[in-house]
Amino acid sequence: MHPNGPRTGGASGGETQERSARLTSWLRSSPSTRHRREFKDIESKFALRTPEDTAEDTCHIVPGVSESVAHCHFNHSSKTFVVIHGWTVTGMYESWVPKLVAALYKREPDSNVIVVDWLSRAQQHYPVSAGYTKLVGKDVARFINWMEEEFNYPVDNVHLLGYSLGAHAAGIAGSLTNKKVNRITGLDPAGPNFEYAEAPSRLSPDDADFVDVLHTFTRGSPGRSIGIQKPVGHVDIYPNGGTFQPGCNIGEAIRVIAEKGLGDVDQLVKCSHERSIHLFIDSLLNEENPSKAYRCNSKEAFDKGLCLSCRKNRCNNVGYEINKVRAKRSSKMYMKTRSQMPYKVFHYQVKIHFSGTESDTQTNQAFEISLYGTVAESENIPFTLPEISTNKTYSFLIYTEVDIGELLMMKLKWKSDSYFSWSDWWSSPGFAIEKIRVKAGETQKKVIFCSREKVAHLQKGKGSAVFVKCHDKSLNKKSGW
Residue list, annotated binding site: 202, 207
Q: Which residues make up each annotated binding site for Ca(2+)?
A: 202, 207
Cβ 456 vs Cβ 466: under 8 Å: yes
Which residues, at least 6 apart from 409, have a Cβ–Cβ distance to it below 8 Å?
Answer: 371, 372, 449, 466, 467, 468, 469
Nearest to 53 by CA among 87, 117, 97: 97
HSE-up of residue 117 (Cα within 13 Å, Cβ side): 18
* Active-site annotation holds for 273: yes
At 334 the three-state DSSP class reads: strand
**Burial of 6 from C-beta contacts in 10 A (0-12 / 13-18 / 19+):** exposed
User: Which member of 71, 273, 278, 347 is catalytic?
Assistant: 273
Say what the alpha-carbon torsion angle 284, 285, 287, 293 is, to the nearest 10 degrees: -60
Pick the catalytic residue from 139, 188, 236, 282: 188
Active site residue 188: yes
Which residues have a Cβ under 8 Å from the Cβ of 254 and sit 6 or more positions away?
none
- Phi-psi region for residue 472, left (φ > 0), alpha (ψ -120 to 50) or beta? beta
State the catalytic residue, choosing from 164, 225, 330, 451: 164
Q: Residue 148: name the closest of 85, 46, 72, 80 by CA.
A: 80
C-alpha 225/C-alpha 211 separation (Å) is: 21
Q: Is 159 helix (H, G, I), strand (E, B) or coil?
A: strand
168 φ, ψ (degrees, to nearest 5): -75, -35
Look at the chain and count its residues: 481
Annotation marks residue 164 as catalytic: yes
Residues recognised as catalytic? 164, 188, 273
